[in-house]
């Protein structure tokens, strides 16, 4: 398969990826405790797996046991936790390399709210904006944050170029970029055309445009966490390489907790998760820091 060749996977790993794409059974549920549960010694009302092999997980993320659907419990409706794929928590582990608590933060592509929840699990939200351009998704985002008791957060709907044009500077931007979503297949979610060059190249162009606007919104010393839920290097390593070629004031940061997942498809620190790692459907992350 073309994707396996682009990822330079050995035969055994390529076979695992192909099986995961076809079987759709690689998703791993995780829950992140909400601000409602924080500081209350809250424990999930169902059995959870050991987190011993997941050294990158923060303390307030739990792994429901086999057969448990956490969204069916009353505590979910009460907003005690947020449900997401374990691979999203893996991406959020990149926040461990942010050197100080962000005073002002912006989740640029925030719906349905998972990355904002993971940020709140690491840092107290002081002045946070959860932004989503699409009105329908913005409603879902607002509902999730309200249910989970996320405070000090404003929900907005501006485009990246509109944010860049305002002249505001943030300490941290989260860019969970729109992508071809190839990992959806590994969750059993149909996604026709996601492996084709048209979808990949079209999304890569959009991602480059978003990032060129995002870098205009960060103060010197601030960060951008770039993440996707897709595998193709064109939407991941090559987007970051494009950005680094266009500006000398940014560098990719090492993420010690994710050292075992460092990508060998680029010369800078970037990290990718694939189904053979056993940590969910997969994803990509790169933490960028503005130097000047």
Q: Which candidate in 89, 109, 148, 229 is catalytic?
A: 229
Give me 273's structure tokens: 């998760």
Closest alpha carbon to 122 in 225, 210, 268, 246: 225
Residue with structure tokens 């404003």? 154
Q: Which residues contact 21 (CB under 8 A, 6 or more apart)?
A: 182, 185, 186
Answer yes or no: are the C-beta atoms of 247 and 215 closer than 8 Å.
Answer: yes
The per-residue DSSP string of 52-91 comes to TT-TTS-TTEE-BPTT--GGGSHHHHTTSEEEEEHHHHHH
Distance CA 111, CA 133 (A): 9
User: Mutual orientation of helices 197-214 and 237-246 as an angle, nearest 10°?
Assistant: 40
Is the distance from CB of 115 to CB of 176 less than 8 angstroms? Answer: yes
Take residue 162 and report the two structure tokens written for it: 């509109």
Closest CA to 240 of 204, 282, 196, 283: 204
Please count the other Cβ atoms lying within 10 Å of the Cβ belonging to residue 196: 12
Structural contact between residues 288 and 255, judged by C-beta atoms closer than 8 angstroms: no
229 is catalytic: yes
Q: What is the rounded CA–CA span in Å between residue 71 and residue 59?
A: 20
Bridge partners of residue 172, in order along the sequence: 105, 223
Question: Shortest CA distance to 253 belongs to which of 272, 233, 232, 225?
Answer: 225
Point out the residues that are catalytic.
Answer: 229
């Amino acid at each position: 398969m073309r994707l396996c060749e682009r990822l330079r996977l050995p035969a055994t790993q390529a076979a695992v990826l192909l099986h995961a794409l076809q079987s759709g059974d690689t998703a791993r549920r995780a829950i992140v405790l909400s601000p409602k549960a924080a500081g209350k010694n809250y424990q999930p009302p169902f059995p959870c797996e050991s987190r011993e092999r997941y050294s990158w997980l923060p303390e307030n993320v739990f792994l429901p046991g086999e057969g448990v659907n956490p969204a069916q419990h009353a505590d979910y409706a009460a907003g005690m936790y947020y449900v997401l794929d374990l691979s999203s928590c893996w991406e959020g582990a990149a926040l461990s390399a942010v050197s100080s608590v962000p005073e002002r933060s912006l989740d640029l592509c925030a719906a349905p709210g998972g990355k904002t929840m993971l940020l709140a699990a690491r840092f107290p939200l002081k002045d946070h904006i959860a932004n989503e351009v699409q009105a329908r998704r913005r409603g879902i985002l607002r509902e999730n944050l309200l249910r989970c008791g996320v405070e000090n957060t404003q929900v907005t709907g501006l485009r990246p170029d509109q944010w860049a044009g305002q002249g505001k500077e943030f300490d941290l931007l989260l860019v969970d970029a729109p992508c071809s979503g190839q990992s959806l297949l590994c969750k059993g979610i149909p996604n026709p055309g996601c492996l084709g060059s048209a979808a990949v190249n079209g999304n890569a162009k959009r991602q480059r445009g978003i990032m060129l606007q995002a870098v205009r919104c960060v103060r010197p010393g601030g960060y951008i966490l770039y993440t996707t839920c897709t595998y193709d290097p064109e939407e991941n390593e090559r987007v970051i390489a494009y950005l680094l070629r266009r500006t000398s004031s940014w560098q990719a940061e090492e993420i010690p907790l994710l050292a075992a997942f460092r990508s060998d498809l680029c010369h800078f620190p970037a990290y990718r998760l694939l189904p053979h790692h056993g940590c969910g459907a997969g994803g990509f992350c790169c933490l960028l820091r503005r130097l000047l």
